[in-house]
Amino acid sequence: MLLGGGELNGVRILKAETVKAMTTNQITEFPLTLGSIHGDRFGLGFGVVTPGGKEKTPMSPGSFGWGGFFHTIFWVDPAKKVVGVLMTQTYPAATSIQPDFIKAAYEALED
């Protein structure tokens, strides 16, 4: 539904304007460290990848996502039409497989 701009299987769930606001940088150039798995800026509920943050992640600018307490993550990359989900149950996490998972997912895509 988020990849579809608020629509899923022909059914409108959220207005396109709502999804756009949620997934657009809302903090301008305020410096923010979300880690490479969450982008470099923040929308309304998601970390977002801006062109300036592209060097930290294989995600395309405009991608967005977030993670959970036990190191679960999801992201949506509208440019590549990819949705990624990693369900883990680790706490505390001495190391994180999240960056490696994201990298492997993008390496598996055919250009």
Return d(Cα 99, Cα 44) in angstroms, integer: 23
Closest CA to 16 of 30, 3, 29, 31: 3
Query: With contact defined as beta carbons under 8 Å apart, do 70 and 89 qualify?
Result: yes
pLDDT at 1 over 90: yes
What local confidence, expressed as pLDDT, does residue 94 receive? Answer: 64
Global pTM value: 0.87
Helix (H, G, I), strand (E, B) or coil at 8: strand
CATH number of 7-108: 3.40.710.10
Helix (H, G, I), strand (E, B) or coil at 82: strand
Tens of pLDDT, residue by residue over 45-81, are 899 998 888 788 899 999 999 988 888 899 999 999 9
Distances (CA, A) of 24 to 21, 62, 111: 5, 8, 25
pLDDT at 110 over 70: yes
Q: How confident is the model at residue 111 (pLDDT cuts 50, 70, 90)?
A: low
Q: What is the mean pLDDT of residues 96-102?
A: 87
Percent with pLDDT over 90 in the chain: 58
- For strands 7-8 and 11-12, give the pairing: antiparallel
Q: What is the mean pLDDT of residues 5-22?
A: 96
What local confidence, expressed as pLDDT, does residue 14 receive? Answer: 97
Q: Where are the domains of the chain?
A: 7-108
What local confidence, expressed as pLDDT, does residue 34 receive? Answer: 63
